[in-house]
Amino acid sequence: NAGVTQTPKFQVLKTGQSMTLQCAQDMNHNSMYWYRQDPGMGLRLIYYSASEGTTDKGEVPNGYNVSRLNKREFSLRLESAAPSQTSVYFCAGQREYAGELFFGEGSRLTVL
C-alpha cells in the first residue's frame, strides 16, 4: 500500500500560470483534505471532501478549486498562481467516523 500519494513533489510557477496538484489514496478513505503549511502559520485547511461527489471550503479557499474525481483521487487546482500561494501543500485521507488523518509527503510549490 502506498497510502496517500501526491504529485508533483516540487513545482516552480510564474505568477499567473495554472497547475493542478494530484492526490490519490489506496486506503479506502471516504474523506479527503487539502492543507497548506507555511512557517509560523501551521497547517491550514483549503478544501475538503466528505465523500465522493461532495466538496466544501475550508479556512483559506480563495484562489483554489478542487475536484473529487472518484473515491481515490482529490485534486487541487490553482487557476492563476500568485506569490502568496508559495507553500507546501499536503493532501490527507480520513477513515469514516475515525478522526486521524493520514498525510501524503507534500508538494512544494514556489510561485515567482
Chain residues in the site for another protein (CB under 8 A): 4, 30-31, 33, 35, 40-45, 48-51, 56, 58, 90, 92, 94, 96-97, 99-106
Owner of C-alpha cell 487539502: 34
CB of 15 to another protein, least distance (A): 25
Integer Cα distance of 77 and 86 in angstroms: 14
Please, which residue, 48 or 81, has the CB nearer to another protein?
48
Q: Locate 23 and state its grid cell.
A: 492526490
CB of 69 to another protein, least distance (A): 17
CB of 103 to another protein, least distance (A): 4
CB of 100 to another protein, least distance (A): 5
Integer Cα distance of 9 and 89 in angstroms: 9
Residue 85, φ and ψ in degrees, nearest 5: -95, 5
Integer Cα distance of 80 and 69 in angstroms: 21
Please, which residue, 17 or 61, has the CB nearer to another protein?
61
Please, which residue, 54 or 80, has the CB nearer to another protein?
54
Task: Please give the full DSSP string across 79-107, using - where no structure is assigned.
Answer: SS--GGG-EEEEEEEE-TT---EEE---E
Please, which residue, 42 or 62, has the CB nearer to another protein?
42
